[in-house]
A and B are shown apart, each in its own frame.
Chain A
Amino acid sequence: MQFGIFSVSDITTDPTTGHTPTEAERIKDIVTIAKHAEEVGLDVFALGEHHNEPFFSSSPTTTLAYIAAQTSTLQLSTATTLITTNDPVKIAEDFAMLQHLADGRVDLTLGRGNTGPVYPWFGKDIRAGIPLAIENYALLHKLWREHTVDWKGKYRTPLQSFTSTPRPLDEIPPFVWHGSIRSPEIAEQAAFYGDGFFANHIFWPASHTQRMIALYRERWAHYGHGDPDTAIVGLGGQVFMAKNSQDAVKQFRPYFDNAPVYGHGPAMEDFTRETPLTVGSPQEVIDRTLGFRDYVGDYQRQLFLMDHAGLPLKTVLEQLDLLGSEVVPVLRKEFANLKPAHVPDAPTHASLLAAKSSSEVSVA
């Protein structure tokens, strides 16, 4: 099982000090955070894509390539890459390029993006969100698998004799996760292609995530990829820890109360009850996270949101220390003990390369 962190790249004023980091500070901080994720033993770093303030991450592959150059084991991913407003040709090229530079330590999570004003900036219509996600991914899928592509669709210029360069590393496309909070069509899309499904998880009640994952697993089996429990599932999570539970609550409350998404809304106690947010001791985080398995089954990737809502860099790095030293080692062991042998791990470039080599050997 893979453990890691994901960032939405918000630039938010620290409500306890009034300090707002500059874009330059925050961008350098995210590199430090990603490197520290590897240092503390995490597996994955995923970065969001936004094209509006107060977010900085408009160009995730640039940032991820820079991080790749300074890390050696960290799997680089996105949370999410906008499959609706980006040209699928550019996604194909950017991520193949990143694969080569990062020696294959790359996968990506596709999302539609729910910020209405962004669509027209890229010449798109949010009302066509689902059809755009379906058509654009069909093209992306093809560009990574066929050398010369002829293609015609509704939403972009036709392609004749087009080759996306560079070709995917070792002719193995990056593994794709499809992310969605509430659209069953996207769970269906992930199942159709035999790709992974990533549930954001953190903004909605568990019962909702449970239904989406169940649908994805059922359709995964329907399309002949294997039993439902062999589908590839990722979950988001959100934690804030201190050795002593009450200290965590006290330290995190001002950040919760002023957070961009849910701030000035529900009480932290209500939100922790309704959603996976856990504010408490490392043991509480362990117990809660193990409990996710009760409603989604054995799953392959757990990412935590750690740097947001104006938390200062020092605090984020301390949180990563706790995650790496006290939480993840226990979760690794416990999840591994619970997982039946036939449930696969999340595909990586290395595992896909090994599978490809062995199938070529068996054909020969």
Chain B
Amino acid sequence: MNQRSLVVISAGLSQPSSTRLLADRLSAAAVDQAASLGVDLTVRVVELRDVAHDLMNHMLTGFPPAALKDVIDAVSAADGIIAVTPVFNASFSGLFKSFFDILDKDTLADKPVLIAATGGTARHSLALEHALRPMFAYLRAVTMPTSVFAATDDWGGSEDLLHSRVNRAAGELAREISRREPAVVTDPFALTASFADLLGA
């Protein structure tokens, strides 16, 4: 089996949160579907709540505290990302946006990303299409065609519909990861041009 890494970003605030619940459903489905394609997906789940103070400190000081640096490094090295946010005020939460605001601009370039969100009712579902999808397009991520929204209702009675959406999105992500070469992390200290080239530029 080929080894690949998946980082799951959950911006839920309560514990347990329905955002984390959805994130776990998606990552479990992605692991299963990747396995069927011969890919052994190692999963790291990041609760942004745990690095919330670090995110703000990074914005204020310009460098990430150690725990946040570790998360950024994991995202940079990941072969795929699942990003899940609660919908606040018709968009992603501030905490969710803050995390993507502090990433270097190329971190997500050409990286497969599955987007998902949670909210009280299905009326919030298009936040995925008008808020998350454009942001990831701007970051040049490869966003999966299927995005997954789970409303309170979805956690109730029959969950067939959510189940099928989860599986479809996870399948898209698993196929995208499996057909790609492993992610390559660029060294920020690597020189990209000789000094002669810099002088002659």
Contacts and interface: CB of A to CB of B under 8 A. Distances in A.
Interface of A: 130-131, 134-135, 138, 182, 184-185, 188-189, 192, 203-205, 208, 211-212, 215, 219, 261-262, 264-266, 270-271, 274
Contact of A265 (B61, B190, B201): B61
Prevailing SS type, chain A contact patch: helix
Contacts, number: 55
Contacts of B56: 265
A265 B188 CA distance: 25
A262 B188 CA distance: 23
Contacts of A205: 63, 66, 69
A92 B60 CA distance: 36
Contact of B195 (A189, A204, A208, A215): A189
A182 B198 contact: no
Interface of B: 53, 56-57, 60-63, 65-66, 69, 188-191, 193, 195, 198-199, 201
Interface centre among A131, A189, A205, A265 (most CB of B within 10 A): A265
A184 B188 CA distance: 8
B189 A203 contact: no
Given A184-B191, A205-B66, A211-B189, 7 more contacts: A134-B201, A184-B188, A262-B60, A266-B53, A266-B57, A270-B65, A274-B65
B76 to A, nearest CB: 15
B57 A182 contact: no
B61 A203 contact: yes
A206 B63 CA distance: 11
Nearest to A138: B199
A212 B53 CA distance: 27
A262 B61 CA distance: 5
Nearest to A264: B60
Interface centre among A182, A184, A203, A266 (most CB of B within 10 A): A266
A188 B191 contact: yes
B140 to A, nearest CB: 19
B65 A266 contact: yes
B93 to A, nearest CB: 21
Give the top 5 A-B pairs by smallest Cβ distance, nearest first.
A265-B60, A266-B57, A192-B195, A262-B61, A204-B63
Contacts of B201: 131, 134
7 contacts: A203-B61, A203-B63, A204-B62, A262-B61, A264-B60, A265-B61, A266-B65
Given A131-B201, A138-B199, A262-B61, A274 B66 contact: yes
A130 B198 contact: yes
B61 A266 contact: yes
Given A134-B198, A205-B66, A184 B190 contact: yes
A185 B65 CA distance: 25
